[in-house]
Structure formats: C-alpha cells, structure tokens
Structure 1
Amino acid sequence: MNNLTAQQNAVTELMRISPIADELADRFGKAGHKLFLVGGSVRDALLGRLSPDLDFTTDARPDAIQRVVAGWADAVWDTGIEFGTVGLSKRGMTVEITTFRADSYDRVTRNPEVSFGDTIEGDLVRRDFTVNAMAIDLSTKKFVDPYGGLDALRRKVLDTPATPEESFADDPLRMLRAARFASQLSFEPAPRVVAAMTDMASEITRITAERVQAELSKLLLGEEPRRGIELMVGTGLADHVLPEVPGMRLAIDEHHQHKDVYEHSLTVLEQAIDLEKRHEPTSEPDLVLRLAALLHDIGKPDTRKFESGGGVSFHHHEVVGAKMVRKRLRALRYSKDVINDVAQLVYLHLRFHGYGKGEWTDSAVRRYVTDAGDLLPRLHKLVRADCTTRNRRKAIALQRTYDDLEQRIARIAEEEDLAKVRPDLDGNEIMRLLGLPPGPLVGKAWTHLKEVRLDRGPLDHDEAVAELRAWAREQGIEPKD
C-alpha cells in the first residue's frame, strides 16, 4: 500500500461518515475555526475499520467548541473539558473534539500540565505514536502527516513522533500501549522504541493499576496477544506488570517438549484462542479464558522439584497457581467475577489428567461438571489447549480421551440434568422430616444429600428420606416419625 493509495482509502472511508464530519467542519468553518479528524480515527480509516467513535481536534478553545455544537448535537458533556475535550453524540456516533494541545508533563505522574496550542503540527508531536499522529483537514480532505505516520502504517512499524525517551517519560503507559498495538494491529516496534522500553520499563510503576489493567486487557483481547506478551517480557515491562509470566521461564515443562513453561503457556494461549474462534466465531474475545490460558501454570516455579533420575515434578501447582492468580489479579484491580473465574479454571485445569483412559466413575464425572459450573465450556477449551506435546500420536490420544469425557458428560447430563444438580430433598422437607428449625444443621444435611446425589446419581424419594434419616442418626439427631 503506497501513500497515495492509503490516502485514497482513508478519504473513501471518511466519506462514509462524511455527513457528521462535513456538518461539523461547516459549523466550525463558519465560526472561523479549523477542524481535523485525528489520531486513532484516521489510523482506523486507513485500515478500513473505522469505529463509531470519532476524534477531532481544532484551534477553537473549549468554550468556543461548546458554542459551535450547541443546538446541533443530540447530547453534549464536558467531563473532559479541563483537558480541552468536549464530548457529544450525534445520530448514534460518539464524538470527542479537543483543542490543539501543547502540554508538558511533571514526569512524576502521567498527568499533563494542560496548555493549549495553535498548530496541528504542535498537537500531533505530543501524541503517542506516528500512526496516531496523522490528521485529515476536513475543509480540504487533505492529509496532515508531518511525522511519517502513513509510511509507518504501511510498514506496520510503531515509532514515536518525538524521541521515545521523551514520549515515555511524559506518559509511561505508552510503553504498554506499544505492546497492545503489537497485539491488536500486528505492528512491530522500531528498534529505538524497544530500546527505550527496555531502559525505562520501571517507569510503568508511575501508572495506576486500573489503567495498567485496562491496557493489559485490550492486549489480551487483540488478534495476536502473544506478540504483546513477548514484547512486555523482552523489554522487562512484564516484570512490573505480570512478573509471574517471565518467572515461568525458570521452570522446565514436565513433558520436556518445550523450551520452558513460559513458551508452553504462550502456546496454550494461542491454542485457546483458536478453539475460541472455532467454537464461537461470532462472539467477542474471551478475557477470562485468555487470562486462564496464559496463567494456568504460574504455580510451577514455586512447586518445582527435581526428582532422582533426572525428572522434574510440579505437585499441586494448580492449587498454588490459583492462589497466585487471585493475588495478581486483585493487584491489577480486576473485578471479583473475573478473579474468581480465572482462579477456578487454573485450579481445575489439571483434574482431567486423572481421567486416565476413562477410569472415572459417573460420580467423578458429575463432580467435574459441578465444580466447573458455568465455566465448563471454558474448561473444555483450556484443557484441550493445554495439550502441546509434539508427539502427534500422544496428542491425538489425549484429544480422543477428552472427546470420550465430553460424550460421557453429555450422556449423564441428558439423563440427570447435571446443570441443576441439587439434593433430592429441599430445605423445607429436610426441616419437616427432622423436626429442625432453620439453621446450620439444615445446611449440613442439604450438603450431605448433595454429596450423595453426586456419588450415586438421582435417588427416588424413599431412598433420599432413608439416607437423610441415617445421616441424622449419625449426628445424634432423632428423626421425626
């Protein structure tokens, strides 16, 4: 794609949203101001993937922006006005219009000392990467590209308008954004960008956990998260964001088929994404599955044991790993639901390997399903993705064994409705039969009957009553007649 073709593509894409852009440009022009489509909006237009959120920049000051859009926009908000940004919506599109900026940074936090600029070139030089430092003058439909963004986009290279040292000192989060763009857009950072990230990796600690988490999640949800993770690990950025991931390079995979557990985990991540796309091609990327795939073996370094004869074991690494996942994801301010789900997948991912060649009883299959709960479809993908052996015969055998387990789950589920496994007697009937008031003993009886249900499958009513009465006698409770 040469620059002329790229410009033509962008203008074509621009025409698709031209009613709003043209209307805005006309209003700003009549008020004596210039308006530019800018940043990610231009980049995405060049890539043919324009989103419904548009970014504009202008020489108009914030109060003037508000006057221009008053009466035209469907809604206007000023939550970013202290940074020169006015937000609005129009016909279902979200628009942000920001006054030219010429900020400086204290380089202690990532908060700019806001000052407004007078030129588009001055505004663009303060942006994170050259591919985001392009603009379209809406009055002429001409490109403004003072820092070579089009050429960088064509070559799929991430570089900075200013020196990367200046850019990252101003806002260290840009280093993590580089890794995110590597994942989302398959871009390769320029050598000087990689060098600056390596030298300045510790600066990421200036950034709040919430902002780090947001960028990390976008990275993992990209098309090629392995690229982003490898960039983070290679530059040392991961040492401050997800230290457990580079830490896995210390452990040797128990199958001795991979360079180390780190490489194995990246392969599992890729294979989980392949399964995700194959089974739910129209669904959004699955953050929980991807986090679990990347982190499923983080407990191995702490549980590594060298056995006599040269072997290596990692006993209970799934238990240790689940605890480590909870600690790390809490530190990154993930939601409680995400933390619980990822930790449970890590905890359960190894259980299948006790299945052998189908030796599990139906009771064990029920427990597998019950413990997984709503996570069962994700657990299926994670376990299948965790097979990374290069021995084709062994890989086929493992997949067939898991096929057999899934078939058994389907059969038992059809017979017993495993999704709703509950005791054969409810709490009210337990209280009536045992003459108990509501309280802990009722809960214990309910739990006991559920365990029996998992072990033996559904009981008829008389069997369930007999089981409850037998349990009650063992507890010193005399059942009612």
Structure 2
Amino acid sequence: MNIRFYNIILSIERIIYEFNKILLSNKPSTGIFYLYKIGLLSIILPEVRNLKGIENKKKFKHKDNFIHTLEVVDNISRYTNNLWLIWAALLHDIGKSITKKYIPNIGWTFHSHELIGSKMIISVFERLKLPKKKYIKYVKNIIKYSSRPITLISYTATDSSIRRLLFYDDIEDLILMCQSDITTKNYIKKIQYKNNFNLLKLKLKKVIEKDIKKKWVYSYPISGYHLMKIFGINPCKEIGIIKNILKYAILNGIIPNNFEKANLFILEIGKKIL
C-alpha cells in the first residue's frame, strides 16, 4: 500500500516507521496534531481523526475525544517507552465515534466503546501493515479491558473480581493505561482518582498475600494440549468451551486451583460436552 500526498508517494511501511518515531518522542501530541492539521492523519488513521470535535445538544456536550486522546498519549509516554502500549493509548477511544449516542435528559454516552474499539484494531493493523502476529492481541486486550480496573475501585469489590484482574497477563500496563486516561483539569478530581488507584493497588496486594498463604497459582493447571491429549481430539471450539468453564470454576471458587481437582472437573465436563 502506497499513499500519495501532495504528489509525493510514500509506502505505508515508511510512513509507519516515521510515525513510530513520533509516538516514541518526548511529546507525541505535537507531531500527531501537526499530521492532523495538514490532513495526513485523515489518510493514515481516520479512526483517530474521527474523534475530533464537540457536539452540543440541549446544553449537553461531550469532550473533544481527539484532544483527550493526545493528552492520554502524552501522559503514558512520560512513564513508558513501550511502543505498543503507546499505540494502545492512541487507539483506546476509537470506538467512541461509532458508539456515540445522545439520550434525552441524560446526555452523551459511549457504551461498549472499549469492546467496539478492540474489534476495530484488526482492520487498523491490516491496513497499516503493523506486526499483527506479535502485537495485535496485546493492543486489543489493553483497549478491551481498559475500563475493567476502574470498575474494581470500590470497597465492595470481591476477592474473586480482583483475582480475575490478576490473571490478566499485562496487568501493570493495563493499570498504567487507566491512570494515563485521567485528563481532568479539576485538581480535586485528579487527587480522588489517584487515591482510587492506590486503593486498587492495595486490594491487589492483599488478595495476592491471601492467595500466597493458600498456595494459589496465577495460571491455569490444565492446558489446551492436555485437554486434547486426554480426550483424543484435535483443536476445536469445544476445547475453548471447556477451558472457559474451567476458568469460571476456578475464579469463582467452585474448585481449587490445582491439577488434581481441575483434571477431575474437566473429565466430568468433557462427558457432557464431547
């Protein structure tokens, strides 16, 4: 794929090479905003360009999600040089342009924008020829679960819900993404958000300490390969179903997280499914 701009033809590989240098700069928003001003961002990343603007209806208005995105990218760049985490920050709200909805007397909503945005990542990676096999799952998951830590910031969050977060492979990156997503200019709100994340980290620490005493292991005791071997089948959707049932049973305390109990459990489940 080549892009023509002002009679200059550039390969998408060269464009992304230069774009990645912008993302890894001290203040990526400067370069990204310049690309927006000259019209090149609309060609490279229309999903991000479409976030620009504020719509006002009956005294209800939403923030400019494009400007917010630039602030998030700058925030996260202060703490990491992980290029693909910065890409996730850049793309984390692209689902908002599709899910935006006005509800009378309530205002603007963007329900499920994280899920929709994560699904849009496939076309973005394919169009820009980004390394799909290596990083697409990582970027998709950061976006898909970007609100999950926030939902756990409460004194009523259960150990099981906290433990689900601990099973996430890139939990530190996910929490950093959530913290970088705070762009409010209200000092009191900013302090409150900071305290909330400190509370979440404390909860995570306490659950880990409890689980260490119980010899809990943060990985599943049964692999997909083991399932295929004991049931004598090749990779299929049923294997995924059994793994999800096992995951639910462990996370919700139905069975302990050890091989013996898990093996007996999946043998019973396998009889019903296979």
1:469 positional shift:
5.9
When the two chains are superposed, the root-mean-square deviation of aligned CA atoms in Å is 3.3
C-alpha separation in 1, matches of 2:123 and 2:7: 22
SS of structure 2 residue aligned to 1:389 = coil
Instruction: Report the counterpart of residue 65 of structure 2 in structure 1.
Output: 261
Alignment size in residue pairs: 262
Query: Counterparts in 2 of 1:95-244, with a 5 A limit?
Result: 201=5, 203=7, 206-244=9-47
CA distance in 2, matches of 1:459, 1:218: 44
Question: 1: CA distance between counterparts of 2:246 and 2:268?
Answer: 11
1:316 maps onto 2:112 in alignment = yes
TM-score computed with the length of structure 2 as normaliser: 0.80
Do structure 1's residue 449 and structure 2's residue 214 form an aligned pair? no
**In the alignment, does 2:187 pair up with 1:383?**
no
Larger relative contact order (CA 8 Å, sep ≥ 6): 2
- The corresponding residue for 2:87 is 291
Unpaired segments ≥5 residues, structure 2: none
Structure 1 residue runs of 5 or longer lacking an equivalent are 1-108, 111-171, 173-200, 277-284
Alignment deviations for residues 256-287 of structure 1 (CA, whole Å, 9 cap, x no partner): 898500111111111112233xxxxxxxx221
1:346 aligns to 2:143 (yes or no): yes
Preserved contact between residue 166 and residue 218 of structure 2 (Cα < 8 Å): no
Structure 2 vs 1, CA of residues 242 and 357 (structure 1 numbering), >3 Å: closer, same or farther?
Answer: same
Cα distance, 1:445 vs. partner? 4.2
Task: Decide whether the 8 Å contact of 2:47 with 2:94 is kept in 1.
Answer: yes
Could you tell me the percent identity over the aligned residues? 27
Match of 1:248 in 2: 51
Deviation per CA, 1:91-121, whole angstroms, max 9, x where unpaired? xxxxxxxxxxxxxxxxxx99xxxxxxxxxxx
Between structure 1 and structure 2, the one with the greater Rg is 1
Distance 2:14 2:273 in 1: 56
Q: Any idea what SS the aligned residue of 1:312 has?
A: strand
Give the secondary-structure state (helix, strand or coil) at the position aligned to 2:26.
coil
Aligned AA (1:403): N
- Does the residue aligned with 1:249 lie in a helix, a strand or coil? coil
Picking from 189, 192, 202, the partner of 1:407 is: 202
Checking the alignment, whether the CA contact within 8 Å between 2:149 and 2:175 is kept in structure 1 is no
- Measure the CA separation in 1 of the matches of 2:228 and 2:130: 40
Match of 2:99 among 303, 316, 324: 303
Alpha-carbon distance between aligned partners in 1 of 2:75 and 2:131, rounded to the nearest angstrom: 25
Taking a change above 3 Å as real, the CA distance of residues 411 and 306 of structure 1, as seen in their structure-2 partners, is same
TM-score, length-scaled by structure 1: 0.48
In 2, Cα distance between the equivalents of 1:418 and 1:212?
47
Aligned counterpart, 2:269: 471
Q: CA deviation at 1:307?
A: 0.8
> Displacement, 1:310?
5.1
Query: Conserved in 2, the CA contact under 8 Å of 1:297 and 1:321?
Result: yes
Aligned-partner SS, 1:232: helix
Separation (CA, whole Å) in 2 of partners of 1:268 and 1:217: 16
Q: 1:394 to 1:330 in 2, by over 3 A?
A: same
1:272 corresponds, among 76, 100, 111, to 76
Shift of the 468–289 alpha-carbon distance from structure 1 to 2, 3 Å rule, reads: closer
**Which letter maps to 1:246?**
R
Counterparts of 2:185 and 2:216, CA distance in 1: 35
Quick check: 2:250–2:257 contact (8 Å CA) kept in 1?
A: yes
Assess if the C-alpha contact under 8 Å between 1:250 and 1:301 holds in 2: no
Task: Give the whole-Å Cα distance in 2 for the aligned partners of 1:418 and 1:269.
Answer: 36
What's 2:159 paired with?
362
